[in-house]
Amino acid sequence: MARPLSVAIVGPGMGGLATAAALMRVGVDVMVYEQAFRFARVGAGIQIGCNAMKVLRALGLEERMREHSFYPRSWNNRDWKSGDIKFDMIFGESAEEKFGAPYLLAHRGDLHAALASAVPELVKLNHKLVGLDETGEGVRLSFADGSSAVADAVVGADGVHSTMRDILFDTAPAKFTGRIAYRTTYPATLLVGKTIDDCTKWWGEDRHIVIYYVKSDRSEVYLVTSQPEPDFRIESWSAKGDVRDLRASFEGFHPEVGKVLAACPDVHKWAIMDREALDRWADGKVTLLGDACHPMTPYMAQGAAMAIEDAAVLSRCLDGIDRDGVADAFRRFEATRKARTTRVQETSRANIWLKERTDTSWVYGYDAWSVPLAA
């Protein structure tokens, strides 16, 4: 009996872990490598669209995510000052019936933990990639500690600042957009008896703020902003901002925004970067996926979803493939996914998603398990 195909995945974020879980479903041997010494639970929310939930369902994670996530009535888009509704995108049971899966709001840490539970013992920490070489044995990965590994194929899921992308291709650095974001989660009890809408994006003239619950019992609130600040260029999930500056930058917004910011105890701050999609994602038996090849600005809440979709499609392309078929499978994966990821990337960059009445079926109705694969 022929041995299973072996795939090394660099980067255990949402896309990397989803890829590992999806490849395991089709009998591929997988190992995931991470440069950090440990995982950190980042204080941030994440919107899990119906399209991403279809992938998570097949990975056996739907029940867990329903238990640990908030099930919103809608994504309500409102005017920053008057509170007038621009477009109320209804989710809940009607959207679940229409699109075939729920729309959930979660803590990023809860989604990451769920995906990690699907690939137990398959993540090697403290493995910083420094080199890739195709040999007669396969693709050799070299790490900063002097160790190495060999696999039939390698997948780079290491994000917008991908080391794999830099090894494979000559690419320009990420560009600062001139905008920054504040974000935080905090206990809803700090609202002192007040409540918030399920999920609201408050559209200002040159800035916005999104607010929603990330727990099924409404016990934790999340907020994230986008606003101009051309002199701040620190891109870090751990960098702190000044909550007083945050409140001042949204002074004059609707009182419902004010009460959420008044209760906010502290906040993180990071520069919003952007990068053009790559012309090609693969080189022989090595491919990129997710933000490593088609990075997304955060304005559609679809960055992780695109990487999770990538995982499902890639697993279909590699299903039943031996090591000699890997390069063709990677080209098929790219040809299947590129038009969709490009459209989402460009739509997100425009930052008008759901600002007015919008046809969302092309996003949320997509099913990565059944979409036709490219020839």
Output the pLDDT for position 37.
Answer: 81
280 or 40: which leads in pLDDT: 280
Whether residue 186 is contained in a domain is answered as no
Q: What is the pLDDT of residues 1-11, one digit of tens each?
A: 578 999 999 99
pTM, two decimal places: 0.96
Q: What is the pLDDT of residues 54-74, one digit of tens each?
A: 999 999 999 999 999 999 999
Whether residue 116 is contained in a domain is answered as yes
- The enclosing domain of 38 has a CATH number of 3.50.50.60
Whether residue 229 is contained in a domain is answered as no
User: Over the Cα atoms of the chain, what is R_g?
Assistant: 21
Q: What are phi and psi of 41, to 5 degrees?
A: -85, 100
* DSSP reduced 3-state for 354: coil
Domain extent for 104: 6-173+275-365
How far is it, in rounded angstroms, from Cα 354 to Cα 343? 15
Is 212 a catalytic site residue?
yes
Over residues 218-233, mean pLDDT: 93
Model confidence at 239, pLDDT cuts 50, 70, 90, reads confident
Whether residue 89 is contained in a domain is answered as yes
* DSSP reduced 3-state for 316: helix
How far is it, in rounded angstroms, from Cα 42 to Cα 26? 31
193 sits in the region (left: phi over 0; alpha: psi -120 to 50; else beta) called: left
Whether residue 77 is contained in a domain is answered as yes
Determine which one of 33, 103, 186, 212 is catalytic. Answer: 212
Edge-to-edge strands, sheet with 148-151:
129-134, 139-143, 148-151
Whether residue 334 is contained in a domain is answered as yes
- Tell me if 374 sits within 8 A of 321, measured CB to CB: no
DSSP state of 43: S
Whether residue 252 is contained in a domain is answered as no
Share the mean pLDDT of the chain: 95
Whether residue 370 is contained in a domain is answered as no
Output the pLDDT for position 232.
Answer: 84
How many residues are recorded in the chain? 375
Q: What is the pLDDT of residues 290-349, one digit of tens each?
A: 999 999 999 999 999 999 999 999 999 999 999 999 999 999 999 999 999 999 999 999
Q: What is the pLDDT of residues 62-110, one digit of tens each?
A: 999 999 999 999 999 999 999 999 999 999 999 999 999 999 999 999 9
How far is it, in rounded angstroms, from Cα 247 to Cα 264? 9
Output the pLDDT for position 209.
Answer: 98
Output the pLDDT for position 1.
Answer: 57
Q: What is the pLDDT of residues 132-177, one digit of tens each?
A: 999 989 999 999 999 999 999 999 999 988 999 999 998 878 889 9
pLDDT at 234 > cutoff 80: no
User: By C-alpha distance, which of 312, 86, 107 is closest to 204?
Assistant: 86
| Domain tally, the chain | 1
pLDDT at 194 > cutoff 90: no
Measured torsion, CA atoms of residues 261, 235, 163, 141, in degrees rounded to the nearest 10: -60
Output the pLDDT for position 343.
Answer: 97
Model confidence at 236, pLDDT cuts 50, 70, 90, reads confident
* Residue 93: partners with Cβ closer than 8 Å, 6 or more residues away: none
